[in-house]
Structure 1
């Protein structure tokens, strides 16, 4: 959530009066309207005006006379007040911008962490998939596998591969049992470590004499 900075009305009014003094709308020694009239000019409550003039009084910009109203003390003090207010406003702005940047950085860090998690998860999935990508080998004419069952071939013992299917005449037979007979042209579908491809090819390309 972005933090919004809002200047209170009593400060805005004090700043406006100080601006009028520096612009010579009010001159040093001049009496300006009392708090009740100022309230109607700025359309705010008497309490807001009281806080405004108290702020100006504390900075020696004006003097408050209960019976005669408000007296302008010093144009220089009005300038000092505005400079101080500007410095405070700049600080508040920088502080607010910094808060927003920190908030945005947290969002960015969170998004980066999510992306890293996704990358790790995706890489893990790829690695896992890589271990189960099936290999395929075709049984050629006169191969030692022709006419023999998977059990007779002791396929895993000789190749360290596990047959998960056999493609035969555009059909695929999944999870064939030990009595499934292999024929010429069959395509063996199997899984295992990378070296099993070479093991299987070497084994089924052993030809009967």
Structure 2
């Protein structure tokens, strides 16, 4: 039988009979009896067997007569019935596949949503910590501020940033004192607002 197991038992039996008719295992003109043959063959109640016959009668495959069973009257309609059932089964399969696919996509969307939420939270935390992350500025241009101490430059008041380190001759000096000087080729590290690099560049290089 080619029916899906989720179909009612009586409809499965009706389709199985139709397949037998389509393959000439049961021929036009033959009689089938619900109580004595179908119920026993399929291991179902007489009521279930009768419902299977009623399906075939509704499709014009058999002609049912009370007390004499049902007579097969059309092989063509049996074939049509099989095709309709197979098409219906295919549609159900497609529908189930669509439902499964949507469920998988929803799981992926939920996962993506959670990842995005985590990303935004971490981004927010990063932004909040941003003022504590040092900016880096290589001193590659000429400047009239070289050789002058931080005290003489009045660096903090002039720029509004806090100097946290100077990389001089490949040696990193942390928290340089007031008498430390800038030299061309140094790299300086400082913390402050977003426009800190522009302010320090303007102070040192006049641009």
Task: Give the structure-2-normalised TM-score.
Answer: 0.64
* Equivalent position of 1:196 in the other structure: 199
Q: Matched residue of 1:194: which SS?
A: helix
* Equivalent position of 1:207 in the other structure: none
Q: For the Cα contact (< 8 Å) 2:149–2:180, is it kept in 1?
A: no
Cα drift, residue 27 of structure 1: 1.5
Q: What number of residue pairs does the alignment pair up?
A: 189
Q: Distance in 1 between matches of 2:146 and 2:62?
A: 111
Q: For the Cα contact (< 8 Å) 1:5–1:92, is it kept in 2?
A: no
* Equivalent position of 1:134 in the other structure: 135
Cα drift, residue 29 of structure 1: 1.8
Alpha-carbon spacing, 1:170–1:20, altered in 2? closer, same or farther (3 Å)? closer
Q: Distance in 1 between matches of 2:80 and 2:188?
A: 91
Task: Give the structure-1-normalised TM-score.
Answer: 0.64
- State the superposition RMSD in angstroms: 4.1
Q: Matched residue of 2:197: which SS?
A: coil
Q: Matched residue of 1:25: which SS?
A: coil
* Equivalent position of 1:144 in the other structure: 149
Larger relative contact order (C-alpha < 8 A, sep ≥ 6)?
1
Unmatched runs of 5 consecutive residues or more in structure 1 = 204-209
* Equivalent position of 2:69 in the other structure: 69
Q: Distance in 2 between matches of 1:195 and 1:89?
A: 70
The answer to whether 1:27 aligns with 2:30 is: no
Q: For the Cα contact (< 8 Å) 2:34–2:49, is it kept in 1?
A: no
* Equivalent position of 2:97 in the other structure: 97
Q: Matched residue of 2:63: which SS?
A: strand
Alpha-carbon spacing, 1:82–1:161, altered in 2? closer, same or farther (3 Å)? same
Alpha-carbon spacing, 1:154–1:70, altered in 2? closer, same or farther (3 Å)? same
Q: Distance in 1 between matches of 2:172 and 2:93?
A: 73
Q: For the Cα contact (< 8 Å) 1:137–1:200, is it kept in 2?
A: no
Q: Distance in 2 between matches of 1:183 and 1:71?
A: 111
Cα drift, residue 155 of structure 1: 2.7
Unmatched runs of 5 consecutive residues or more in structure 2 = 140-144
